[in-house]
Amino acid sequence: MYGRRFYKAAPAHILGSPRYRCFSSKVYEPLRILFCGSDQFSVTSLQALQSERKASNGRIASIDVVCRPPKLTRRYLKNLREVPIATAARNLRLPLHEIDTFTGWTPPISPNLIVAVSFGLLIPSRITLDAKYGGLNVHPSLLPEFSGPAPLHHTLLEGRKTTGVTLQTLHPTQFDKGKIIAQTPYPGIEHEAETVEELRDLTAPLGAELLVNSLRNASFVAPVQEVGWCGPDQSSTRFKKASKIGPEDRHIDWASWSADEILRCQRVIGPLWNFAEFLVQNKSGERRGTTRLIWEHGFRLLQEKCHIFPAIGQPIIVGLSKTTKKVYVRTCDGQVLVPNHIKIEGGATTAGFNAIRARGLAPIPSRDNDLNVEGTL
């Protein structure tokens, strides 16, 4: 599969236009690629295609890039941030088209191959079917496992220690339902990644390699041979989906999440949050309510043993002096997590014990020796 050389099938004056073939006997015209991408994962594939274009002696005639337009971000929506693929396209001096929808939009070129990598929009069938060689998609999982928009996140959240990349054709009406034409051999490669960035940096070059090798061996040219590890007789319902990460995925369930699960979620999709009851005393008496605690800077696992028995998920303050004050939160598996900074919804991020005391979320300790590392929890 690797290192196959192409040669011209016949002189241009005989065929009318250059065509290329590999040892598989498949022939294709010079490629006019419409590349649809967004994030850093897609940048690696675009850079690989551009390098292949320069080295391929005409196999790739052109590359046009499509992405979403810049969006206003940060507080008060003051900053305009463009997606990484837009910056990469400009650096590579490739034509760039920024669109929010395909409705009413027609490619200025007539592409004969569509490539989508971490794009997020379904490319309409009028474009994919009009392209002579259809479309290809690079997906960072061993499909059909973790189909969906967030495969890297869910691979880590599930604690999977193996991963892989899939090259599939673009389905005209559904995401991740195309034919698998190249894939990391099952069960994938082992990894030690703990963050999305680490896993992305591992899988992005693998995906780019699958994509470029597909152009070299013409596996995208019909008839396409499906080579996925999962046979058609296996039910797709047994595989996990990689749905979009939302606020509810960051909502800590203290009753069922272990300390390891909380720390893992913190690394992958943090900051986490949960609801908590508060008590405020004023001239009119006591008032109880519910607020949202945002664990802005996450937690660390308490390594020392202690004799404090807080209720599960209930933050308490331990210690009196500024140097010893800490907030402890007990998990359902008996571990204790120590947050650094906490944000109460609607307020500023502050030291954990200040945030907790301000809302009456924990009792004020009466003695400095509440912190005892010689007992057991």
Pairing of strands 316-318, 299-301: unpaired
pLDDT single digits (tens) 51-73: 999 998 889 999 999 999 998 77
pLDDT single digits (tens) 321-352: 666 678 889 999 999 999 988 888 877 777 76
Indicate the range of 186-195, 228-237, 310-319 predicted with least confidence.
228-237
**CA distance linking residue 39 with residue 81, whole number of Å:** 12
Pairing of strands 349-351, 272-282: unpaired
pTM: 0.84
Pairing of strands 299-301, 336-339: antiparallel
Burial readout 230-248 (b: 16 or more C-beta within 10 A, e: otherwise):
beeeeeeeebbbbeebeee
Per-residue confidence (pLDDT) for residue 317, from 0 to 100: 74
Helix (H) or strand (E) holding 344: strand 341-344
- How is 283-339 classified by DSSP, letter by letter? TTEEEEEEEEEEETT-EEE--S-----PPBT--EEE-SSTTT-EEEEE-TTS-EEEE
**CA distance linking residue 138 with residue 207, whole number of Å:** 6
Read off the pLDDT band of 376 (50, 70, 90): very low
- Mean pLDDT in residue range 108-121: 95
Are 201 and 244 in contact, with CB atoms under 8 Å apart?
A: no
Q: Is 190 exposed, middle or buried (0-12, 13-18, 19+ CB in 10 A)?
A: exposed
pLDDT single digits (tens) 241-284: 999 999 999 999 999 999 999 999 999 998 999 988 776 666 67
**CA distance linking residue 265 with residue 195, whole number of Å:** 10
**CA distance linking residue 355 with residue 293, whole number of Å:** 9
Indicate the range of 163-177, 234-248, 290-304, 310-324 predicted with least confidence.
310-324
